[in-house]
Amino acid sequence: MCYNFSMFFNFCLFLAELLSVRQLLSLLTMSIFRFILPTIMRSRSWKCFATGIPSDAIAELNKEMESIFGESPSPSPLGGSSPPQQPAQPTSEAWEVQPALTHVDSSGQAKMVDVSPKQDSERVAIASCRVLLGQKAFNLVASNQIAKGDVLTVAKIAAITGAKQTSNLIPLCHNINLSHVRVDLTLNEEDSSVIIEGEVATSGKTGVEMEAMTAVAIAGLTVYDMCKAASKDICVTDICLQHKSGGKSGNWSRS
């Protein structure tokens, strides 16, 4: 903060004329604590509350100091220059328990979840996928004229194989004994697509969501591979879980 030197000099002369030496020393001492230190701390409280000085002199001093330094804000109840800042109240979201990643340990390293304490239960997962073929490739698939062969049958076999190989493809998945794998591929004329649905079941300690999604993803990629000679615009999309049941988390379905 930069002050006008002439104003400060005139203010010093004013103090010398108004006060005795003892009062001047008292005022200077109080000023150090009331003005200089608060300035360092970026405070703007410039009121003088020295003791031993006549009240009319204090009022005159306060008026003079306000003309130099500006008006002082109202003091806080504790005598500070501004009321203490209240800590921000946490929102309701802050109190919610955030879900933890089960495949990450306390140090942030990847880990395989230990499922040995879990009880065996019947578990089912259903996933889906869509392959946008385009009109040309769709007509070839529908008429079974793709050069590589029967697209839907090959994709179905690939999906079942993929479900059984999930633990080899996804590093932290468990090797699960599957009791059932169902894959359906349906041609949809409205958007020239193949709709794929896969269902996987097991009786074990962990779910089969990844097996179901791997199955439909592999089926979609197989359709792409067999049809790519006919079109490069084919798009494999909307791979997602539709339903799961069993296990600690219970049942879930996509709304």
DSSP state of 106: T
* Active-site residue, selected from the candidate residues 56, 105, 114, 225: 225
Structure tokens at 104: 């990450």
pLDDT tens string 100-113: 677 677 777 777 88
Q: Is 105 a catalytic residue?
A: no
Which one-letter amino acid corresponds to residue 162? G
| 23 vs 169, higher pLDDT | 169
The pLDDT of residue 119 is 83
Residue 48 confidence (pLDDT) above 50: no
Share of the chain above pLDDT 90, in %: 50
Residue 28 confidence (pLDDT) above 90: no
What are the strands of the beta sheet with 235-245, ordered from one edge? 178-188, 193-204, 121-132, 235-245, 252-253
Residue 37 confidence (pLDDT) above 70: no
What mean pLDDT comes out for the span 5-20? 63
Instruction: Estimate the share of the chain in helix, then strand, then coil, as percent rounded to the nearest 5.
Output: 40, 20, 40
CA separation for the pair 184, 153 (Å, rounded): 10
What mean pLDDT comes out for the span 78-85? 56
Burial of 46 (0-12, 13-18, 19+ CB in 10 A): buried
Share of the chain above pLDDT 70, in %: 60
What mean pLDDT comes out for the span 121-138? 97
Burial letters for 173-182: b for 16+ Cβ neighbours within 10 Å, e otherwise?
bbebebeebb
Burial of 99 (0-12, 13-18, 19+ CB in 10 A): exposed
The pLDDT of residue 248 is 84
Residue 247: how many CB atoms within 10 A of its CB? Answer: 20
Residue 191: how many CB atoms within 10 A of its CB? Answer: 12
The pLDDT of residue 68 is 57
> Is 190 within 8 Å of 197 (Cβ atoms)?
no
Helix, coil or strand: residue 178: strand
Residue 146: how many CB atoms within 10 A of its CB? Answer: 19
Structure tokens at 149: 């062969």
CA separation for the pair 114, 97 (Å, rounded): 22
Which one-letter amino acid corresponds to residue 78? L
Residue 177 confidence (pLDDT) above 80: yes
Confidence of residue 23 (pLDDT cuts 50, 70, 90): low
Give, to the nearest 10 degrees, the angle between helix 209-227 and helix 135-142: 100
The pLDDT of residue 230 is 96
**Average pLDDT value for the chain:** 80
